[in-house]
Amino acid sequence: MQRWRGLEEIPGDWGRSVVTIGSFDGVHRGHQLIIGRAVERARELGLPAVVVTFDPHPREVIRPGSHPPLLAPHPRRAELIAELGVDAVLVLPFTTEFSQESPETFVQQVLVDALRARVVIEGPNFRFGHRAAGNVALLTELGRADDFEVQVIDLQVRGTAGDGEPFSSSLTRRLVETGDMAGANEVLGRPHRVEGVVVRGAQRGRELGYPTANVETVPHSAIPADGVYAGWLTAGGERMPAAISVGTNPTFDGTARTVEAYAIDRVGLDLYGLHVAVDFLTYLRGMEKFDSIEALLDRMADDVKRARELTDGV
């Protein structure tokens, strides 16, 4: 899959294509539906399928300080999109100047001049251009003038998560924030992932016999609620069952909120400085302050046992 950052990286001889545009944070099952339809239509026409997304999140530029927690950083997002069969991803730097472009200018510069869109596929609530003035009706009108077709796909994918609320990135963030990993994972179609670099912490886990990878997460990451989880730690291409702790280590009067993963039954791992991924499968319990180290160790042993059982064979 080709990856372009900015219009200037698109090959000058790029032919016509099928395009879909959006933030696509998390690439959840609703996103998968619309991207999958774009790929399907592209294959029918013998054209490449292109996903257009933005960095940073538009909300951060329009209202600084309001950046939503990210369900997937851009490199991970690109991986997930590539798995759906997309041929190219265009990441548009979202600047103040870019945010002030009219819907007509956006369509001309991106869809017509750069990507030479043959078909554009969007959800019914798609908005674009300055102050989100553009909608699918305007896009359809512009398409008739500029020789591209617009298809609108209903994104109302639902399940049990959120009491049947339509799947969305905002729903997923709420589920992650409350520790409802079953719900979040239903929307995503896979375990929620947090990534970052392993850094040195207080090393209490090592002293207690449970050495953990202390993950310095990617900025703006959607971190699950404080507690203990079963899941996996992936490092150097190896996926290992893990017991994961999120919180401030109240037994030791900690104040910094951390994400720590213990790779179950793995001895002698040296992960410092590595970029790793932590996948959250199931919430086990809330964060607790124990009266003694012995009580903490007993609970940790139980956490590891349950995490081992839950991840076995998954």
Give the pLDDT score at 66. Answer: 76
Q: Across the chain, which distance is largest between two alpha carbons, in Å?
A: 73
Give the pLDDT score at 302. Answer: 95
3-class secondary structure, 83? helix
Q: What is the DSSP string of 212-256?
A: -EEEEEPTTB-PPPSEEEEEEEEETTEEEEEEEEEE--GGGT--S
Give the pLDDT score at 207. Answer: 60
Q: How far is 314 from 299, CA to CA, in rounded Å?
A: 24
The model's pTM: 0.91
Query: What's the pLDDT tens digit per position in 234-264?
Result: 999 999 999 999 997 765 555 578 999 999 9
Give the pLDDT score at 255. Answer: 53
Give the pLDDT score at 288. Answer: 86
Pairing of strands 2-5, 17-21: unpaired
* Contact call for residues 87 and 48 (beta carbons, < 8 A): yes
* Contact call for residues 230 and 186 (beta carbons, < 8 A): no
Lowest-pLDDT choice from 90-94, 165-169, 268-272: 268-272
Beta bridge partners of 241: 232
